[in-house]
Amino acid sequence: MVQENLILKNENDIYIFFETIKQLEAQSILDIGMFLKRIGSVSRKAMDCEIPETVRLNGVDLFPEKEFPVWKHVYDTIENGEHFLEKRVKDRYDLTVMLGVDALLPMPVFANIIEKISFYTRFLLVNRILDIWKKEWVNAKIIDLRVEADSYCLVDFGV
């Protein structure tokens, strides 16, 4: 059974997820923690927003204890965290999303994913950024975003 803190219900999270994709015109997205799964979406749509089918959407599932076959149709590929880390980085993404960071932090593979993230994405959207990450990402530009009372960071790793 999925722990309650793994489920995301904040409408601002949903808004920033879709709005960032739209504003960046992202054509390839890596969803670490599978945000759409965690909000209970059974499609690429929520709150009158949509990720087009032409956009490559890959998921890294850090919560495999909850499965539903439809998510295999929502995401182009789904990998568990260990498998994702084992493969050689060959794909680059326009955007990587990691929302609900507090629930992701305790996952054993999460620290290793964070170490390598700048190698496979241009932008990273998170709802929380740790000071240690700022020290590791000295060449990255960190843009603070707000939706009402909620804070987010868009990290630009450059080309």
Average pLDDT over residues 102-115: 89
pLDDT for position 116 = 86
Over residues 66-81, the pLDDT tens digits come to: 666 667 788 999 998 8
pLDDT for position 66 = 67
Over residues 132-141, the pLDDT tens digits come to: 898 889 899 9
The three state secondary structure string of the chain is CCCHHHCCCCHHHHHHHHHHHHHHCCCEEEEECCHHHHCCCCCCEECCEECCCCCEEEEEECCCCCCCCCHHHHCCEEEEHHHHHHCCCCCCEEEEEECCHHHHCCCCCHHHHHHHHHHCEEEEEECCCCHHHHHHCCCCEEEEEEECCEEEEEEECCC
pLDDT for position 1 = 36
Whether this prediction's pTM lies above 0.85 is answered by: yes
Average pLDDT over residues 118-125: 93
pLDDT for position 8 = 65
